[in-house]
Structure 1
């Protein structure tokens, strides 16, 4: 079974960790609009550089279990301490940045580093050029209805206002999808979107025209995985069904087959069922939160839920289940 997961950051890491328990053929398609932390510093210091942080996290999630792979993965995660120029940078971010400057081709760089970490699947950027996010936000002025435009992933993720809509901007104007990522979606048996920062990690994939068209056209079964808790800033006060509403608002042509949510995170299942039906989806409620962290998905539980969804929706593929 060919599975593709789209997202970024910790949310995509959770999905990939679950998916690798289900199939060996996993492709991660990663957002490239991060402008914070080590990635943001590298973007500012090295012009036109893809932010490497989320790409590195996706590779770590899919890394092999042999001794060599574990060593390289540990090294890629390691962050320099101290107070100097390297403080806070992850080693993997610097390696990816150096290879991008040497090879130029992001897909070739990621394929090379995936081999180094023993990744069985593939990690691809949603675009081969760094993108920026703009958001229309209300609630920041005396008149609560006034709309202010905010630019940047970090600024949007931490805004005290209410995000209404987002857009992507690119150096050359129109964001272009990575051809290999587009083809992976078209060839997939199963496509997962979410969980993660809804406006800055999940929805951006729907705003890259080529990726959007592939998601609409693909014959793969499409599954939305909802967050366990609202996120301060981006989705503060959002109900589970509101997450689906904004998907419809940003990509009205998109239809999905299933919506997965944690049963304890859905106070009104009927409302979620109605919202999912607008997308053409059935809801699947299960206990998928980690026992020791209500905001984090349990990989084994999420994998079990994915197996159930696949069985019920009749996903094709010839690979064996784990």
Structure 2
């Protein structure tokens, strides 16, 4: 019997209903996507997570550089977030997230590598297929849904941060860019990289596409910068839900308010429209300005108390799931 100390997420049955058959494509990366997946898995098992593949730091960056593979870290986090709420699922979630730490005074080759990253890359090498490898990993974890990469090749993010209001020099790399301060411009390289065909298909087959939360420039926006992905998001018949961050002034969005986040999306993808924008009212300083920015994208604003109670800017899975359920059933 598994006796780990991590909290048990409430079971999907507690929020089951007509929405449990909803087909959802959830887009993002890192902790933000993991937050939306942890909520979505409580109300539907028909989830496809589409994950950014531009990470170049830590364990993922090392594996990407040394082996020429897609960075597996955000894919691993998505799989862990979708783990079944059983002893089996929770155990494998912790196995996937486990990081090796060398003993004091030793700089080992496994130091800071996440076991899940190594497992995913092993499956890729054995099967010769990234999508098949992720499906095998998902089956092992009992994942409530599928995890797919956004693109078929590793991507690089380039951009500029503002220095006293003036755009600075070009910065290359997600790990550096995410800590550079308020960003003024970003782009993906290669600009015409092929999107994952299965991810594009999932967006077209979805009832709802959920974009965000997450680092706005490096996890959310990239899905709209890749041409094939942007085309799918603009032409899908699915309804579109944009989930706002709780902290609208993180490192790469310093000085921005919630409305500015919506203006960024409209600036880079003017043809992209949204049906619903979900936000916690405590993160919105100017409600009228925010509603106006959402209306310019064709969206209605839904306010939900989705923040956790620990005093941190972290979405509560059960509260977020309840908001998603209400939106899916009411629009």
Tell whether the structures are fold-level matches, with TM greater than 0.5: yes
Q: Select which of 68, 74, 80 maps to 2:88.
A: 68
- 3-state SS, counterpart of residue 193 of structure 2: coil
Q: Select which of 47, 71, 76 maps to 1:56.
A: 76
Report the counterpart of residue 87 of structure 1 in structure 2.
111
1:288 aligns with 2:306: yes
Report the counterpart of residue 166 of structure 1 in structure 2.
186
Question: For structure 1, which segment, 93-102 or 114-123, has the greater mean C-alpha deviation from structure 2 after superposition?
Answer: 93-102
Report the counterpart of residue 133 of structure 1 in structure 2.
157
Structure 1 segment 113-128 matched on structure 2, within 5 A = 113-128=137-152
Aligned length: 306
- Residues 272-320 of structure 1: CA deviation (Å, up to 9, x unaligned): 100000100000112110011331001111111112222221xxxxxxx
Report the counterpart of residue 53 of structure 2 in structure 1.
32
Distance 1:50 1:132 in 2: 11
The answer on whether the counterparts of 2:151 and 2:194 sit within 8 Å (CA) in structure 1 is: yes
The answer on whether the counterparts of 1:39 and 1:53 sit within 8 Å (CA) in structure 2 is: yes
Q: Select which of 96, 101, 113 maps to 2:125.
A: 101
The answer on whether the counterparts of 1:138 and 1:148 sit within 8 Å (CA) in structure 2 is: no
Cα drift, residue 60 of structure 1: 0.5
Structure 1's consecutive aligned runs of 4 or more residues displaced over 6 angstroms after TM superposition are none
- 3-state SS, counterpart of residue 112 of structure 1: helix
Cα drift, residue 175 of structure 1: 1.4
The answer on whether the counterparts of 1:165 and 1:250 sit within 8 Å (CA) in structure 2 is: no
Gaps of 5+ in 2: 1-21
Distance 1:312 1:267 in 2: 26
The answer on whether the counterparts of 2:249 and 2:257 sit within 8 Å (CA) in structure 1 is: no
1:252 aligns with 2:270: yes
1:270 aligns with 2:294: no
The answer on whether the counterparts of 2:96 and 2:117 sit within 8 Å (CA) in structure 1 is: yes
Gaps of 5+ in 1: 314-322
Q: TM-score, normalised by structure 1?
A: 0.92
Report the counterpart of residue 319 of structure 1 in structure 2.
none
C-alpha RMSD over aligned residues: 1.3
1:12 aligns with 2:40: no
The answer on whether the counterparts of 2:277 and 2:301 sit within 8 Å (CA) in structure 1 is: yes
Q: TM-score, normalised by structure 2?
A: 0.89
1:41 aligns with 2:62: yes
- Residues 67-99 of structure 1: CA deviation (Å, up to 9, x unaligned): 333222221111111131111111010111122
1:2 aligns with 2:11: no
Distance 2:302 2:116 in 1: 36
The answer on whether the counterparts of 2:241 and 2:274 sit within 8 Å (CA) in structure 1 is: yes
The answer on whether the counterparts of 2:157 and 2:187 sit within 8 Å (CA) in structure 1 is: yes
Question: For structure 1, which segment, 126-135 or 63-72, has the greater mean C-alpha deviation from structure 2 after superposition?
Answer: 63-72
Cα drift, residue 232 of structure 1: 3.6
1:193 aligns with 2:214: no
Cα drift, residue 17 of structure 1: 0.7
1:306 aligns with 2:327: no
